[in-house]
């Protein structure tokens, strides 16, 4: 089972003990398409978040836009669920200035990006959609379940497709399946959390500099150990 394999991989980064990895994490909800793998960078980032307490004990989510994946973790670092997501139709890692004040129909196609980075978010009011889960309030990026919306966009069908290539369709917000939202997202982030969104084109070192520096340091240390052991 993929979620168990992921939990075991995370255990090697100190996210949970091997005993924990074979118990509670196996119950995590796995909605990723069959055969679709989770990138090593995502697993490493999750391990780093917990090892350094970067989320300060709050639940967190890691979103891989290229793979159209969302992985949700509790404050204890255990995997709660993994599912496909829909992201901004435009490739890019920044939000255009003033975009938060525009109506959806006013946002140019080139500016319909889902920004990359680390964001502290939580539930709060919105002008036209009631209470929503804000991922980045300043750029008006929220996470919500797919709705009928514009039928021609076929959002539900895009989520269900086995390929991530058709998951770029939103104005910048993040969509997940309604059952994943109600069963995993809403209860996990009821009191807020931290959201890590991997970049499309921006270097990872610019998006998550401390993580990349830590990873590079670990690789150098591993190299020195290997040389000593080989003598």
pTM (two decimals): 0.86
Number of domains into which the chain is organized: 1
What pLDDT does residue 215 have?
86
What pLDDT does residue 180 have?
96
| Residue 210, domain CATH | 2.40.440.10
Q: Return the ∠ at Cα 114 (arms to 110 and 117), rounded to 5°.
A: 130
Which among 82, 79, 81, 83 is positioned nearest to 23, based on CA atoms? 79
Q: Which range marks the domain in which residue 88 is found?
A: 2-229
What pLDDT does residue 229 have?
30
What pLDDT does residue 5 have?
60
pLDDT mean for each 10 residues of the chain (231 residues): 57 50 62 91 94 95 97 94 96 91 86 96 85 92 83 87 92 95 96 98 97 82 40 30
What pLDDT does residue 2 have?
63
What pLDDT does residue 227 have?
33
- SS3 at position 121: strand
């Amino acid at each position: 089972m993929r979620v168990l394999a992921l939990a075991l991989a995370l255990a090697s980064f100190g996210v949970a003990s091997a005993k924990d990895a074979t118990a509670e994490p196996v119950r995590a909800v796995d909605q990723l398409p069959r055969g679709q793998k989770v990138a090593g960078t995502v697993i490493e980032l999750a391990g780093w978040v917990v090892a350094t307490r970067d989320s300060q004990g709050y639940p967190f989510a890691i979103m891989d836009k290229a793979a159209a994946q969302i992985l949700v973790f509790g404050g204890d670092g255990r995997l709660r669920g993994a599912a496909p997501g829909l992201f901004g139709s435009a490739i890019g890692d920044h939000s255009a200035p003033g975009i938060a004040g525009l109506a959806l129909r006013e946002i140019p196609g080139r500016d319909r990006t889902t920004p990359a980075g680390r964001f502290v978010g939580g539930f709060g009011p919105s002008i036209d959609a009631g209470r929503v889960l804000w991922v980045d309030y300043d750029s008006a990026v929220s996470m919500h379940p797919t709705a009928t919306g514009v039928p021609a966009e076929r959002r539900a069908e895009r989520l269900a497709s086995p390929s991530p290539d058709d998951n770029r369709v939103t104005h910048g917000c993040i969509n997940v399946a309604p059952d994943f939202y109600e069963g995993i997202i809403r209860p996990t982030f009821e009191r807020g959390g931290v959201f890590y969104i991997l970049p499309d084109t921006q270097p990872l070192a610019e998006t998550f500099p401390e993580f990349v520096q830590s990873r590079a340091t670990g690789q150098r240390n591993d190299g020195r150990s290997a040389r000593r052991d080989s003598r």
